[in-house]
Amino acid sequence: MYSGQGGQRAGAMVPEILEQIKLDFEQLSQEVQQCKSQRDQFQVSLEGQTSEMQQMNQMIEELQAKHVAMQSQYQQEIMRLRSQIETSGGTVPPNPPIKSENTGASSGASRGMAIAAAETIPLPSFHSAAGAGGDVEMHGQAGAGAMPGAGAMPG
């Protein structure tokens, strides 16, 4: 089959080929171990992030519940104070419409309503001590009675 010299050459190459296969196998085994290690690290990271997201969701739900409770409490307080004013003979301006921002899609419209309502509610204007001795005047537009020099920096 093999001639004497060709068979020796092929026989000498077998150990070299086996050595190369052994090196390739060891290299692949190391790469597999690195991949497994990375997978384990990613798994731990993913579990931590999942846990953090669950905690954040729980906090959001708690904050939403507190928001609703506080909103209700404030509305009851406003109604109580309006009732006190009316029973003492005072006049009460009409309630601005209050919309809940819990309905994601209408939140932009609710903010717009709140801004519009704020523009119609009279705000106090504080005069400097040199003026009317700290008297407070009511103006018809929000922001119309800004403090003199409020935006100016002392030079």
pLDDT tops 60 at residue 108: no
pLDDT tens column, 112-150? 555 555 455 555 544 444 444 444 444 444 444 444 444
CA–CA gap between residue 138 and residue 120 (Å, rounded): 12
The token duo for 134 is 């700290």
CB hemisphere CA count around 57 (13 angstroms)? 6
CA–CA gap between residue 84 and residue 79 (Å, rounded): 9
What confidence score (pLDDT) does residue 12 get? 76
What confidence score (pLDDT) does residue 100 get? 57
pTM summary value: 0.43
What confidence score (pLDDT) does residue 137 get? 42
